[in-house]
Amino acid sequence: MTALVTLGYSMNTNNEEEVNAAKAWIEVGAKKGVGYLTDDIFDEIPNKNYDVAMAYSGDAAEIIYRVYDEEIDLQLDFVTPEVGTNIWIDFLAIHSSANEENVYKFLNHILSYDGALENTRSLFYASPREDVRQGQIRTASTERIKELYTIDFREQDEIFRFDPVSKELIDNAWNSIGVRRQGKPINLSTIIITVVGGVLVVGVIATFIIVRRKRR
């Protein structure tokens, strides 16, 4: 998504030429020491190993809360890209062979006030329940964390939508790159987390993280 937006394309594109251009952009970054990781960020950022990371808003909030609560000597902040970011919604789907009675019991719980509050306290994502989300803002540890729970749809932001053609093109591009983390860890005193804005309904999806090591 970052490469597509940077190049001026829609993150929902199913144009093969645009996806290939984004792939080439990512390959240039990989040669310069950019790593492509997933949940490693939850340990690597508090351990002061990276300059900058792209993360979902809830993941950024979780890391900032951890640093704050554990009194880690680290100054964290976040920015939302001026060129735009993606607005996304997570969901839970009912499997065709599921035990529907138990499924609906769980869904009713997770959508109740207590269930939604428990969910967001565990996952740190903004709740779709307005009363719970406002509570997140009121009880946030810092003013900056409050902003992570503030929903702001800007003109340059885009809602990411599932498209089977786009998914196949992007999956094939990533599989052909096969990049991994490069270089040795370094210690930093300040890290900025770049937030990909999001609203959690119910559930969690895998987060794709981009990290850049500090140049020596």
pLDDT of residue 76: 79
Report the percentage of the chain scoring pLDDT > 70: 81
Measured distance CA(179)–CA(206) in Å, rounded: 18
Give burial (CB, 10 Å; 0-12/13-18/19+) of 107: middle
Measured distance CA(64)–CA(146) in Å, rounded: 11
Give pTM, 2 decimals.
Answer: 0.68
Coil, strand or helix: which one is 14? Answer: coil
Higher pLDDT, 207 or 99: 99
pLDDT in tens, 177-206: 875 433 333 333 444 444 444 333 332 333
Give burial (CB, 10 Å; 0-12/13-18/19+) of 146: middle
Task: Indicate the pLDDT class of residue 73, thresholds 50, 70 and 90.
Answer: confident
Residue boundaries of the structural domains of the chain: 37-158+185-211
Q: Which amino acid is at 152?
A: D
- Taking the mean position of all CA atoms in its chain, how far away is CA 172? 21
Taking the alpha carbons of 111, 117, 121, 125 in that order, is the dihedral positive or negative?
A: positive
pLDDT in tens, 126-149: 888 999 999 989 988 778 788 888
pLDDT of residue 20: 95
Q: Is 60 exceeded by the pLDDT of residue 60?
A: yes
Tell me if 6 sits within 8 A of 20, measured CB to CB. no
Q: Is 90 exceeded by the pLDDT of residue 109?
A: yes
Give burial (CB, 10 Å; 0-12/13-18/19+) of 99: exposed
Higher pLDDT, 204 or 153: 153
Mean pLDDT of the chain: 77
Residue 72 in tokens: 């880690």
Least reliable range by pLDDT among 21-25, 74-78, 112-116 = 74-78
pLDDT in tens, 50-59: 777 788 888 8
Residue 67 in tokens: 């640093």
Q: Residue 96 gets which letter from DSSP?
A: T
Higher pLDDT, 45 or 108: 108
Task: Indicate the pLDDT class of residue 19, thresholds 50, 70 and 90.
Answer: very high
Tell me if 134 sits within 8 A of 63, measured CB to CB. no
Segment 147-158 mean pLDDT: 84
Q: Is 70 exceeded by the pLDDT of residue 152?
A: yes
